[in-house]
Amino acid sequence: MAQDLSPAGALGVIPPSVLARIPGCEAGERPDAIAALPGGLINKSFRVDTRAGSFVLRLNDAAGAALGANHGREVRLHAAAGLAGVAPQLIYADLAERFMIMRYVAGAVWDASDFARPQRLRALGATLATLHGIAAPAVAPFDLAAILRGHAASLIAAEPAQRVLLEGLMAQADAALALCARGGREAAIVHNDLYHLNLIDGERLYLIDWEYAAVADPIFDLACILAYYPQAEPYAGELLDATGLAAHVSTAELLRARFLFLLLSFLWHRRRRLIHEVSAADRAAEQELWQRLSA
């Protein structure tokens, strides 16, 4: 649930220079209302209502870069997705000050149970088909192998006894990446983090939080869904059909790509524990990922 803040109280949370970039606050006016938004394990987000409308302000934590976020890439890809109606309109971004302002979109956030509903998955697949069809702007390259190895190297440095285990997982990742590369699919904009809180059903289906977005193999978005939500696996064929990838991706290939995102999620959780104190729920999520990787 959003935490309501008074405009006066928000001045202690949001720097005045950042607030002044929100439409309706340019001349020093105070917003009509501010609410802290739920979700997001790293960054802080707020809904800000002004005379000019409703907006989302996200303050980016510097720790995100160590976990694979790339805000320079995010800005360009979010902007392109916003123009195509797949993401909320991007209003302003400042990489140096680490904040972004987007148009607020009203709607219902997805629940994990939605990933077991074929109708929902077909709608998501259609949205991904639109996303993957957008002409991709030039952005920094996305090297999933390097990200995985970076996480593994940090964990090995912190826990040397895990070297053999982690190097074995990296060997499996290399094989899965090689299999995906042989598919020869054209790179497309991929969201790469299709967590249920990043999907909003409004006047259309919107995808939010693009900090892990990239230009890469479109199979990665489907692999991400199956890694996060095993309940979607029985409907993998419908997802492939809805995204237009059925003729270009085998089920075996999709399941190997799923391994990559299971591993990425597991290493992300493990590495975040080196940076931040985490909750019992986060530790449970990490353990579940490990059990699925070990199955």
Per-residue pLDDT tens over the stretch 253-266: 999 999 999 999 99
Per-residue pLDDT tens over the stretch 101-140: 999 999 999 999 999 999 999 999 999 999 999 999 999 9
Same domain, yes or no: 267 and 212:
yes
Domain housing 284: 108-294
How far apart are the C-alpha atoms of 198 and 228, rounded to whole Å?
12
Q: Which helix H or strand E contains 50, and what residues bound it?
A: strand 44-50
Q: Give the residue with greater pLDDT, 205 vs 281.
A: 205
When pLDDT is cut at 50, 70 and 90, the band that residue 4 belongs to is: low
How far apart are the C-alpha atoms of 199 and 169, rounded to whole Å?
30
> Is the whole-model pTM more than 0.85?
yes
Q: What is the mean pLDDT of residues 9-25?
A: 83
Among 77, 103, 129, where does a domain finish? 103
Number of domains in the chain: 2
SS3 for 221?
Answer: helix
Same domain, yes or no: 149 and 175:
yes
Among 63, 79, 103, where does a domain finish? 103
How far apart are the C-alpha atoms of 136 and 26, rounded to whole Å?
32
CATH number at residue 244: 3.90.1200.10
